[in-house]
Amino acid sequence: MTARREPISRRERPAKPALSRRWIVDTAVRIMRAEGLGKVTMRRLAQELDTGPASLYVYVANTAELHAAVLDSLLGEVDLTGRDGGEGWREQLRAVMTSYTGVLFEHPQLARAALVARPSGENYLRLVERILDLLSQSGAGREQVAWGVDKLLQSATATAAEQSTREHDPAFEDDWDATVRALHAVDAATHPAITAHMPALVGGSVSDRLRWSFDVLVNGIVHTPVPVVED
Amino acid sequence: MTARREPISRRERPAKPALSRRWIVDTAVRIMRAEGLGKVTMRRLAQELDTGPASLYVYVANTAELHAAVLDSLLGEVDLTGRDGGEGWREQLRAVMTSYTGVLFEHPQLARAALVARPSGENYLRLVERILDLLSQSGAGREQVAWGVDKLLQSATATAAEQSTREHDPAFEDDWDATVRALHAVDAATHPAITAHMPALVGGSVSDRLRWSFDVLVNGIVHTPVPVVED
DNA sequence: ACCTGAACACCGTTCAAGT
DNA sequence: ACCTGAACACCGTTCAAGT
């Protein structure tokens, strides 16, 4: 019998894989799905990877960059086809933006991270490419389209950062409540405009507001020329 | 000689004032102006107030609420007159929004806090009141105006959170650089739209973009009716 | 009611030293 | 080049105990 050296002793764990950026980010995504972005810390991640936090700095510059990488990974879930929207560029674009918003709504804290550290991974680039392509079918000028993509993404991201925070985190629920209460409690004499606009100011469903925001931006973008650049 | 018991020993400090929400927030503002919002922590603040962190929780629910209070205090610096804008509601509104953006640009981290925990203090209410008043002079519907105020504030806040972060914090500078580099390095075959829009996508001065954003939103808001509410 | 010391359960990041 | 242990310098929040 030939002696086959079975590496049995190295088998207690699923064979601790070599560290790599890919493996680090995938693990971070797994932690986020299971316990939220708040748990995706350098220390916790290192623990999960069976190493010390210092080791991660070979592959990731800092926590913000790590979160940006997690976001990019999540963006792989966005439906870029706009298939649900039907035929026109506008409806397809709406469907893509709705899908993007949906992904962020499911991972509230990620939206906040996106506003701070912009992603630059492949999924983000694919998303930008697709939105540019659809928006340019509006016939608007090149610069309007370029700047417009930014506003569309910013608006959706900011809404997700605000709105969905409220739903998941009881601490932030309070802040929104406080704002609503403050708006209701306002003195009609000193704040006539708030009083006059009051039900609407805090009303409306999330989806109505999202749809309206989208229309506002698209209408604005295609009708507002960029300022002439001076040399 | 009469023995006069001088309370000299109690005089090393300016007579530690009683704790109060007001005093806590003012101290927080002072720390922020001197060292940035990052230093406005419960522990650091308690130290400055010569007490333990637990004492603050009598007046402030948590760190997010504290930051919201600091922001509201800062909003007192916004010029609500819109005096610089001249006569029309549009120009005055632009001036108010520019002033608001300016305040946030000087305190980058505060803009991020604003997206998460909305303020509800007197200065915030005054700002909302003023923007509502100006925007309603456009003649747009009540609901459009109410929802429009939200979008105007959100857009300005998000831009400040993104843009000014970059200027002050070297760590985030890298993320923007990475995004710009990624957009430049893109393959023209797989990402034709990015390539076609490339100089514009990352170009434009901050103030040109802000001005254009404002016009886009105002144009969009006044021309886009809100969806009919079903009962 | 207000205030506090002390504790619990964490953080990010760096650096000298090893392989 | 990659990896690590250990350290530095912090966090937010709670709670039992005091006044």
pLDDT digits (tens, 9 = 90+) for B185-227: 999 999 999 999 998 998 888 999 999 999 999 999 999 999 8
pLDDT of residue A229: 61
Asked whether residue B51 carries a pLDDT value surpassing 60, the answer given is yes
* Residue range of the domain that includes A48: 19-60
Please indicate, yes or no, whether residues A45 and A89 belong to a single structural domain of this protein. no
Please indicate, yes or no, whether residues A87 and A162 belong to a single structural domain of this protein. yes
In a domain, A42, yes or no: yes
pLDDT of residue B168: 54
In a domain, A67, yes or no: no
pLDDT of residue B117: 80
pLDDT of residue B231: 43
In a domain, B114, yes or no: yes
pLDDT of residue A173: 62
pLDDT digits (tens, 9 = 90+) for B137-165: 999 999 999 999 999 999 999 999 887 55
Chain-chain contact of A216 with B212 (C-beta, under 8 angstroms): no
Please indicate, yes or no, whether residues B110 and B214 belong to a single structural domain of this protein. yes
Please indicate, yes or no, whether residues B84 and B111 belong to a single structural domain of this protein. yes
The three-state (H, E, C) secondary structure of chain A, written as one string: CCCCCCCHHHCCCCCCCCCCHHHHHHHHHHHHHHHCHHHCCHHHHHHHCCCCHHHHCCCCCCHHHHHHHHHHHHHHHCCCCCHHHCCCHHHHHHHHHHHHHHHHHHCHHHHHHHHHCCCCCHHHHHHHHHHHHHHHCCCCCHHHHHHHHHHHHHHHHHHHHHHHHHHHCHHHHHHHHHHHHHHHCCCCCCCHHHHHCHHHHHCCCHHHHHHHHHHHHHHHHHHCCCCCCCC
In a domain, A186, yes or no: no
The amino acid at residue A53 is P
Q: How confident is the model at residue B5 (pLDDT cuts 50, 70, 90)?
A: very low
Please indicate, yes or no, whether residues A115 and A213 belong to a single structural domain of this protein. yes
CATH number, domain containing residue B97: 1.10.357.10
Q: For residue B157, list chain A residues with Cβ-Cβ distance below 8 A.
A: 158
How many alpha carbons lie under 13 Å from residue B185 in its C-beta half-sphere?
Answer: 9
Residue stretches of chain A with pLDDT short of 50: 1-14, 231
How far in angstroms lies nucleotide D8's C1' from the CA of residue A61?
A: 19
In a domain, A8, yes or no: no
Please indicate, yes or no, whether residues A213 and A152 belong to a single structural domain of this protein. yes
CATH number, domain containing residue B23: 1.10.10.60
Please indicate, yes or no, whether residues B109 and B217 belong to a single structural domain of this protein. yes
Q: Which of residues 29-48 of B touch A (CB under 8 A)?
A: none
Question: Average pLDDT of chain B?
Answer: 86
Please indicate, yes or no, whether residues B132 and B215 belong to a single structural domain of this protein. yes
| Distance set, CA A161 to CA A110, A150, A164, B104 (Å) | 8, 16, 6, 18
Q: For residue B227, list chain A residues with Cβ-Cβ distance below 8 A.
A: 208, 211-212
Residue at shortest CA–C1' distance from D2 = A58
Please indicate, yes or no, whether residues B119 and B151 belong to a single structural domain of this protein. yes
By the CB < 8 Å criterion, does A108 face chain B?
no
In a domain, A51, yes or no: yes
| Number of compact structural domains in chain A | 2
